[in-house]
Amino acid sequence: MNRKTVIDLIIRALEARFETAKAAAQQAREAAINEESVAETKYDTFGLESSYLAHGQSQRVIECENDWMQFSRQVPVEGDAKGKVALWSLIRLVPLNSSMPLRYFFISNIAGGLSLQYQSSSLVLVSPETPVGKILLSQEEGECISLTLAGKSTEFEIDLIQ
């Protein structure tokens, strides 16, 4: 497991999410200012709805850009060597008594819920405030935890913390 590779993967995903949001906002803006959006009757709300959508999409662009920039600036390339899960930890979980694949989690207060593929396994950014984040925080390598994933409780060993 390479922490720098994972951080670069997350940064690229956040940048792609920003670019997608920017394109969606541009499309919504164009729809809102298009001459076909002008109300023909007092009951025609297409133009108004388009402007609300454009505003919401522009807010999303700002949020995505902030996530991308903050993550790029705040995440230390080197992990904490104390061996306990903390903010900015990259964790590898090995399922016990199960054929499930390895699971990777990255504790982050930015872009929680972002899910990516890493080495053919799931990598999820989790906020310290989420149920999974609360379970993982302060755990140590070699400890076993129980997580409910897809409605099924599964035992995992914390195999590696970086």
Domain range annotation of the chain: 3-74, 90-161
Question: Would you state the pLDDT for residue 71?
Answer: 96
AA letter at 30: E
Question: Would you state the pLDDT for residue 151?
Answer: 86
Please say if the pLDDT value at position 157 is more than 90: yes
Cα angle for residues 149, 117, 72 (degrees, 5° grid): 110
Overall average pLDDT of the 117-127 stretch: 94
Length of the chain, in residues: 162
Overall average pLDDT of the 8-31 stretch: 96
Tell me: the pLDDT tens digits for 39-98?
778 777 888 898 999 999 999 999 999 999 999 999 887 776 678 999 999 999 999 987
* 138 phi-psi bin (left φ>0, alpha ψ -120 to 50, beta other): left
Higher-confidence residue of 133 and 44: namely: 133
CA atoms within a 13 Å half-sphere pointing along the CA-CB vector of 125: 20
| 16-20, 23-27, 68-72, 83-87: least confidently modelled range | 83-87
Q: Is 90-161 CATH 3.10.50.30?
A: yes
